[in-house]
Structure 1
Amino acid sequence: MSHTPLAAELNELRQKTSDLMARLDSAEYEEFVLLVEQREQVLQKLQGSALSEEDRDCIRSLQQYDSRLLQQMGLLKTEAAETLFRIRQSKNGRNAYEGYGSQSYFIDKKN
């Protein structure tokens, strides 16, 4: 790969992507966020830049991971949504029981 700053960034991005792919199933959500942010920054720098053939090859190699990364991010999103749903259900159930204590009265009528 050429020794331009852009080439160095592409190489670093490829390495981080490869590292994340190697442990895809155990990676945390935050790691995906950091990778996506770095990809975004590199893409912004690429716009309007003259790319060497090596840079284009590196970009193509990064694109091969896109579908698997998106799939895993979708799984994490679904998992988070399900967890939030369970938390809300639990909270609503707890509130139903706790709500009676402060809003209800017991009246004892003696005949």
Structure 2
Amino acid sequence: MRISKKPENRKTEILNTAEILFTTKENSETTINDILREVGIAKGTFYYYFQSKEEVMDAIVLRFIDKGVEAAKVIAADPDLKAPEKLLKSLRGKGQKKMVKRN
């Protein structure tokens, strides 16, 4: 039975699944077929959102960078921290949410 989802939800599901696979297996060992199996979608659905495995990897990296920037903004805006503390927390990635984990 085909499960229909909103495009943004499906894309997020693909990215979350790929991130888990890339972090639990070697990137080079993870295939598009692995992602398809885990998400439960057809190849055409995958290629609707991404042209290649490398494009998925790029999207995951960009998402990670975006999370880091947002976390750094929160740290920078904290009036209770002095500049050196803000810098140290930002460099350590404090305030950044953990990567996606498999349930």
| TM-score category of the 2 structures, normalised to the smaller one | 0.3 to 0.5
Of structures 1 and 2, the one with the larger relative CO (CA 8 A, separation 6+) is 1
Normalising by structure 2, we get a TM-score of 0.37
**For the pair shown, which has the larger CA radius of gyration, 1 or 2?**
1
Output the TM-score relative to the length of structure 1: 0.35
